[in-house]
Chain A
Amino acid sequence: MKEVLKIELLRFAVRYHLGQTSRRLSVSSLLEDGTVLVIKGPSGSGKSTLLRILARLQSCDSGQVFFRDAGWHTFSPPVWRRKVHYVAQKPAVFSGTVAENLKKPYSLKGQKTLFQPDAAQAGMERLLLSREMMEQEARTLSGGEAARMALLRSVLLNPAVLLLDEPTAALDDRSRRAVHAYLAEWLAGETERGIVIVSHDGDLSAFPQVKQLETGLDGEVER
């Protein structure tokens, strides 16, 4: 099976927010086509930091990430972030309606594709968001609704790799299953796609192939 993303000896520091101490991590892993890589580990073990580094929103000390055999520095940061796309745990909500929020990325110059209202509408339904919600002021959404809207917005952009930071943290069981099913379907929809996810969900059985990466003290991480 072909690899979508290859993480090669990524070294970075994790700072605990309470103490002043920092710990150095070194991570290597592979994300194969059509699979999910779950990052596990206790709080403050660098899970979110790793995702942000993969999106090049934060720098690391050394190491490289390859997207289909091409090193990350062969891409400009905007191009990289379109392919290896990060969705933060706290959903970014812009002023305006849900529809306007979903269209927001298409106002950028480098965005080559057009907004597809039908796909957006279908996605809303799959994620258990009502049709009327499109015209609702996005800032009035609940935490769980905003999280699903942000996820949908990113999926519609059709990246190659989704970097998801606890996408189901604010959701009830029913919505969580809907999100998992939606993501599994997205993963199977085209070849050369993958998901790197930080999640505390015990049950990820919706996905055909799940590999774990521990940022704790053992597993694939060296101290």
Chain B
Amino acid sequence: MSGGAVPISDFQLVLSVLLILITGAITAALGLGLLKPLLWGTVRTFVQLGLIGYVLTYIFTINNLFLIIAIITVMCVIASSTAAGRTPDAGRHSVLLGFVSLWVSTFLVGAIVVGLIIAPEPWYSARIAIPIFGMILGNSMNGIALSLDRLFSEVGAKIPEVEALLSFGATPWEAVRDCVRVALRAGMTPAINSLMVVGLVSLPGMMTGQILGGADPHLAVRYQIVVMLMITAAVAIGCLLLVMMSYKKMFTGEDAIDPSLFGGVQAKKQAGN
């Protein structure tokens, strides 16, 4: 560590509200109607992050393995309901499926990173584990949300093809195989793309944070590389699990497309009756 972080005093923190005044002025002048959410968002930022500061201090002090697992599990619940909420078509069970895939992928990849690669003392050190698991979750959440949404829009748009394949005697898996492939690509592409441009177009938040915190840039870079690769792996595993569990739910026990899922499309087909 060279120097450590430059502290931000209470007064300096209050100064940052100046930035909100700029945003507020733009909003008000152009009548964008964003003033209320902007103020509410600012308040929430102060309160939520202020609280999480205390929570993290508490968690780091206790440093209990089961508490860490419990916290990450709660984070998985929130992340999966957010991800599934973006595809209302997918139905209620998708929250559960999303949770299972996030939980498994996060713990699998997180355990490898914390236990094997970074390997702090003790290996479940909350100071390392919580931020690492948090980053995995945030990114896999976006990945699985994209995959799930794409799976449903893809199958929804290709019902005639899927039903033709079923008529040829395809199993549900064979009937949606191409759609599954498209959905997985959609979920994994952003993570892979960011591997391409990292450091050129974007300086990742974690690395920037470490540098601002006074860490040696070389060390920050090493951490960032581990983080990028772990995110890619977690997104791939999470998307795969979710899509493989979700496609089955699109079919009835009779291996036909569940009419309750793509109601609008089926109704349109009936119109040609």
Q: Point out residues on A near B: beta carbons under 8 Å.
A: 15, 17, 43-49, 55-59, 76-79, 81-82, 85-94, 104-105, 108-111, 150, 154, 157
Taking the closest CB of chain A, its distance from the CB of B254, in whole angstroms, is: 5
Chief secondary structure at chain A's binding surface:
loop
The interface on chain B, measured as residues whose beta carbon lies within 8 A of the other chain's beta carbons, has a size of: 25
Cβ-defined partner of A90 (8 Å) among B160, B252, B259:
B160
Cβ-defined partner of A47 (8 Å) among B256, B259, B273:
B273
The reply on B168 being an interface residue by CB < 8 A is yes
The reply on B64 being an interface residue by CB < 8 A is no
Cβ-defined partner of B256 (8 Å) among A77, A87, A94, A110:
A77
- Among residues of B, the one whose C-beta sits closest to the C-beta of A165 is B272
The contact string, 1 if C-beta is below 8 Å from chain A, for chain B 232-273, is: 000000000000000000001011110100000001111111
Cβ-defined partner of B272 (8 Å) among A15, A82, A89:
A89
Cα–Cα, bound, A192→B129 (Å): 68
Contact assessment for B255 and A59 in the assembled complex, using a CB-CB cutoff below 8 Å: no
A residues less than 8 Å from B168 (CB atoms): 81-82, 85, 104-105, 108, 111, 157
Cα–Cα, bound, A15→B269 (Å): 12
Contact assessment for A58 and B259 in the assembled complex, using a CB-CB cutoff below 8 Å: yes
Cβ-defined partner of A56 (8 Å) among B165, B256, B267, B273:
B256
Cβ-defined partner of B163 (8 Å) among A92, A108, A109, A154:
A92
Contact assessment for A78 and B273 in the assembled complex, using a CB-CB cutoff below 8 Å: no
Q: Which B residues from 34 to 82 make CB contacts under 8 A with A?
A: none
The reply on B157 being an interface residue by CB < 8 A is no
A-B contact pairs, 22 of them (CB 8 A): A15-B267, A44-B270, A44-B273, A46-B273, A48-B273, A56-B254, A56-B255, A57-B256, A59-B254, A77-B255, A77-B256, A78-B169, A86-B167, A87-B167, A88-B160, A88-B163, A90-B160, A90-B272, A92-B160, A108-B165, A108-B171, A109-B171
